[in-house]
Amino acid sequence: MTALVALVESVESGRDVERTALNSLEEIAYLFGEMSSDERREFRDLLERVAAAEPELADFIHSLPGSLGFYLES
């Protein structure tokens, strides 16, 4: 949520959006790495539900964690 707020505020204020986006993505990647096994399982299940609801975006949704260097075990 913090990353989302930072992105919205940077766009609205005209700040360096690219730098803010990169910092936000790094924070998200860090938080992924801090997840417990149960949280990872819940997140994987959430991604599956979102991908099922948005089939045209399923490949993108499934690739998000890996794009940040975080891989969910199956």
Q: Find out whether 58 and 25 touch, Cβ atoms under 8 Å.
A: no
Return the pLDDT at 8: 67
6-33 pLDDT, tens digit each: 666 766 676 677 777 778 778 888 888 8
57 touches 51 (CB < 8 A) = yes
Helices (H), the chain: 2-13, 17-33, 37-53, 58-67
Tokens of 51: 């991908």
The token duo for 3 is: 């990353």
Q: Is the pTM of this model over 0.75?
A: no
Q: Range with the lowest mean pLDDT among 18-22, 32-36, 46-50, 62-66? A: 18-22
